[in-house]
Structure 1
Amino acid sequence: MSTRAAPAADRRPATLIAALGVAALASALLAAGSLLPVVEGGRPGFASGPLLVTLAVLPLLAAGVLMLRGRHGASAGVLAGFAALAPGSAVLDLQFATDPSAAVRPELYLPSDLVEHAPAAGLWLLVGGHLAAVAAGVLAVRARDRRADADRPEEEPGAAERWRRRWLLVAVLAAVAAAFGLLMAPVVSTDVYLLARNAFEGPAVALTGYLLVAAALPLAAALAMTSGAGDFARGCLAGLAVAVLLLALPSLVAGVTVPVAELSAGPVVAVLGAAGLLAVAGTPRLAGPAPEQADDEAGGAAVPGKRRLRAATGALAVLTAGVAVAGSVTAQLDSATSGPAPESPARDLLLWAGVLVGILGAAMFVRRLAVVVRPVLSVAWVGVLLAGTAVLDTALTAASVQGPLSAGPGVLWTWLALCAAVVTACCSAVTGVVEREDEGDINGAQRGAAGSGAVEGNLLLPLGAAAVLSVAALGLPVVAAPDYVAAGLWSDFRAPSWGLLATALTVVGALALAPRSRPVPAAGMLVGAAAVLGLHAAALPLSGAYIDGATAGAGFWLALAAVAALLVSAGVAVAGRLRGTRS
Structure 2
Amino acid sequence: MRLRAALVLAFLGALLVGLGPLPGLIEPSAPAAYPAWPLLLLLALVPPVLATALIRRGLRSTASAVLVGAAVLVPGRIGMDLQFVVDPAGAARPELLELDSLAAFTPAPGFWLLLAGHLAVLLAGVVAMRGSGRETGAGTQRQGVLAAVLCAGVLAAVGVLMAPFRSDNPFLVVQPALDGPLPVLVGSALVAVAASGGAGLLAGSTDPEFARGGLFGVAAALVAVAVPPLVSALVLEDLRFEWGPVLVLVAALSLAALGIPAGRAEAPDSEVDDLRLPALTRLLTLAGMFALLAGALAVLAAIVPHVSMPFGLRDPSQYPARMLWPAGAVLLLAGAGLLVPSAALRLRPVLPVVWVVLPLAAAGSLDAVFTAVQAAGAEVRIGAWAAGLALLPAAVAAVLATIAGAVERDDVDLTEMAMRRSVLVPSLLALLLGAGAFSFPVLTAPSYTAPGVFTAFGTTSWGLVLAMAAVVGATVLAPMCRPQRAAALLCGSALVVLVRVVQYPLTSGRLPESAPGIGLWFGVACLVVLAVTAIAASRTPEATS
Structure 2 length normalisation: TM-score?
0.75
1:536 equivalent in alignment to 2:510: no
Q: Given the superposition, is the C-alpha separation of residues 458 and 43 from structure 1 closer, same or farther in structure 2, using an over 3 Å criterion?
A: closer
Distance across 1 between alignment mates of 2:433 and 2:188 = 30
Cα offset for 1:20?
0.8
Provide the rounded CA distance (Å) in 1 between the counterparts of 2:153 and 2:191: 11
Contact 2:9-2:120 within 8 A present in 1 as well: yes
User: Is structure 2 residue 77 aligned with structure 1 residue 99?
Assistant: no
Among candidates 249, 271, 274, match of residue 252 of structure 2: 274
Residue 353 of structure 2 corresponds to 379
Matched, 1:238 2:179: no
Q: Which residues in structure 2 correspond to 1:64-143 (within 5 Å)?
A: 64-143=52-131
CA distance in 2, matches of 1:275, 1:104: 25
| Structure 2 residue aligned with 1:16 | 3
Shift of 1:185: 0.5
- How many Å apart are 1:25 and its aligned residue? 0.7
Conservation of the 8 A alpha-carbon contact between 1:481 and 1:547: yes
- Cα distance between partner residues in 1 of 2:360 and 2:508: 16
Q: CA deviation at 1:258?
A: 2.1
Instruction: Determine the structure 2 residue equivalent to 1:155.
Output: none
| In structure 2, distance between residues paired with 1:135 and 1:459 | 30
Q: What's the offset of the Cα at 1:377?
A: 1.3
Task: State the alpha-carbon separation in 1 of the partners of residues 238 and 227 from structure 2.
Answer: 18
The 5 A counterparts of 1:396-475 are: 428-429=401-402, 431-440=404-413
**CA–CA separation in structure 2 for the residues paired with 1:457 and 1:48:** 48
Q: Is the 8 A contact 2:13 2:116 kept in 1?
A: yes
How far did residue 52 of structure 1 move? 1.7
CA contact (8 A) 1:325 1:350 kept: no
Distance 2:30 2:391 in 1: 36
1:550 aligns with 2:528: no
Mark the CA change 1:366 to 1:221 in structure 2 (over 3 Å): closer, same or farther. Answer: same
1:11 corresponding residue in structure 2? none
Match of 1:30 among 17, 35, 38: 17
Residue type at the aligned position of 1:208: V
Query: In 1, distance between residues paired with 2:43 and 2:228?
Result: 10
State the secondary structure of the residue aligned to 1:62: helix
Contact 2:320 2:368 in 1 (8 A): no
Partner of 2:30: 42
**C-alpha deviation, 1:186, in angstroms:** 0.4
Deviation at 1:325, TM superposition (A): 10
| Deviation, structure 1 residue 195 | 1.7
Does the 8 A contact of 1:291 with 1:304 survive in 2? no
Q: How far apart, in 2, do the equivalents of 1:223 and 1:422 lie?
A: 21
Q: What corresponds to 1:348 in structure 2?
A: 321
Distance in 1, matches of 2:152 and 2:348, equals 22
Contact 2:65 2:211 in 1 (8 A): yes
Contact in 1 for aligned 2:284/2:339 (Cα 8 Å): no
Deviations along 1:428-448, one digit per CA (max 9) or x if unpaired, are: 54542432342459xx9xxxx
Q: Secondary structure at the match of 1:88?
A: helix
Q: Does 1:304 align with 2:277?
A: yes
Letter in 2 for 1:108: L
- Residue deviations 1:165-222, cap 9 Å, x none? 3422222221221122111110123443322211011111111211121222223223
Question: Are residues 509 and 31 of structure 1, via their aligned partners in 2, closer, same or farther at CA, if it must alter by over 3 Å?
Answer: closer
* Superimposed CA distance per residue, residues 410-467 of structure 1 (whole angstroms, 9 cap, x where no aligned partner): x9x99999999899867754542432342459xx9xxxxxxxx99x999999999988
CA deviation after TM superposition for structure 1 residue 540, in Å: 1.8
2:30 & 2:387 partners in 1: Cα distance? 37
The CA deviation at 1:47 is: 4.1
Higher mean C-alpha displacement, 556-565 vs 70-79: 556-565
In the TM superposition, what whole-angstrom CA distance separates every residue of 1:228-257 from its partner, at most 9, and x where no partner exists?
Answer: 222112111111111111111111222333
Is the 1:345–1:544 Cα contact (8 Å) retained in structure 2?
no
Is this contact kept in 1: 2:79–2:186, CA < 8 A? yes
8 Å Cα contact 2:450-2:456 kept in structure 1: no
Alignment-mate amino acid for residue 199 of structure 2: A
Q: 1-side partners of 2:79 and 2:413: how far apart?
A: 41
CA pair 96-525 structure 1, distance change in 2 beyond 3 A = closer
Q: Give the aligned CA root-mean-square deviation in angstroms.
A: 5.5
Query: 1:103: how far off?
Result: 1.3
Q: Give the TM-score taking structure 1 as reference length.
A: 0.71
C-alpha distance in structure 2 between counterparts of 1:358 and 1:434, whole Å: 22
Pairing 1:202–2:180 present: yes
Aligned to 2:45: 57
Question: What is the rounded CA distance, in whole Å, between the counterparts of 1:114 and 1:339 in structure 2?
Answer: 48
Change (3 A) 1:15 1:322: farther
CA distance in 2, matches of 1:417, 1:194: 39
Amino acid at match of 1:180: V
Match in the other structure for 1:290: 269
Q: State the match for 1:178 in structure 2.
A: 156
Please say if residues 287 and 338 of structure 2, whose CA atoms lie closer than 8 Å, have aligned partners that are also in contact: no
Relative distance call for 1:81 and 1:551 in structure 2 (3 A) is same
In the other structure, the counterpart of 1:193 is: 171
Report the number of matched residues: 527
Gaps of 5+ in 2: none
Deviation by residue 1:456-497 (Cα, 9 ceiling, x = unmatched):
9999999999889867866875435455465789x9897888
State whether residues 313 and 364 of structure 1, in contact with CA within 8 Å, keep that contact through their aligned partners in structure 2.
Answer: no
- Tell me the equivalent position of 2:237: 259
The equivalences for 1:124-163 within 5 A come to: 124-145=112-133, 148=134, 161=139, 163=141
Deviation of the 1:521 alpha carbon: 3.7
The answer as to whether partners of 2:68 and 2:125 remain within 8 angstroms in 1 is yes
Distance in 2, matches of 1:372 and 1:487, equals 35
One-letter identity of the residue aligned with 1:279:
A
Whichever residue aligns with residue 547 of structure 1, its letter is: L
CA distance in 2, matches of 1:379, 1:544: 26
1:131/1:327 CA distance change after superposition, 3 Å: farther
Q: 2:178·2:457 contact (CA, 8 Å) conserved in 1?
A: no
Which letter maps to 2:20?
A: G
In the alignment, residue 221 of structure 2 is paired with which amino acid?
A: A
Checking the alignment, whether the CA contact within 8 Å between 2:287 and 2:335 is kept in structure 1 is no
Give the one of 211, 223, 229 matched to 2:189: 211
Judge conservation of contact 1:313–1:424 (CA < 8 Å) in 2.
yes
Q: 1:564 to 1:202 in 2, by over 3 A?
A: closer
TM superposition shift of 1:91: 2.1
Answer yes or no: is the 8 Å Cα contact 2:85–2:106 preserved in 1: yes
Amino acid at match of 1:95: Q
- Name the amino acid aligned to 1:97: V
Equivalent-residue separation in structure 1 for 2:480 and 2:14 (angstroms):
42
User: What one-letter code is carried by the residue in structure 1 that aligns with 2:19?
Assistant: A
Could you tell me how far 1:16 is from its partner in structure 2? Answer: 0.6
The match for 1:247 is: 225
Contact 1:77–1:235, Cα closer than 8 Å, also in 2: yes
Q: Which moved more, 1:69-78 or 1:322-331?
A: 322-331
